[in-house]
Structure 1
Amino acid sequence: MEDNWKGIKEALTSTCQEVLSRKKHRHKEWISIETLYRIQERTNKKATINNFPTRAEKVKTQVEYTSK
């Protein structure tokens, strides 16, 4: 009796796994590598704006910063 039950249980579980298997999802990345690169580029531009000692130089680079 015990052997029959094990055989039935194995057959049932293997059939269910084949028929009702979980769907395999490929999740997209939340932020792409290109977006991270653009964020870093913009951060660097902002840092250069803040490092300029004169207002004229800041305005000149800020135009470039805001144009993109």
Structure 2
Amino acid sequence: MPMIMYSFLDQYDLAGKTLVPFVTSGGSGFSDAISTIKDMEPDADVVTDGLSISRNVVQDSESDIIEWLTKKGFIQ
């Protein structure tokens, strides 16, 4: 997980918030990011089936992103 995310999670109290992880990556996907977020924000609701998109297909991922956001109830 990028250091900026550690800093963000240290600085802000996200208790009671829903955290919806999504990443673009060169191959590592989420790695251990979701478990790290859950450890750092134990009182937040961390969605464990976030969206991971390879940097190689980002430009062609609009329909996948829309489908995921719809499935999660963020858009209709």
TM-score, with structure 2 as normaliser: 0.26
Q: Whose strand fraction is larger, Structure 1's or Structure 2's? A: 2
Please identify the structure whose Cα radius of gyration is greater: 1
Q: Whose helix fraction is larger, Structure 1's or Structure 2's? A: 1
TM-score, with structure 1 as normaliser: 0.28
More contact order relative to length (CA 8 Å, sep ≥ 6): 2
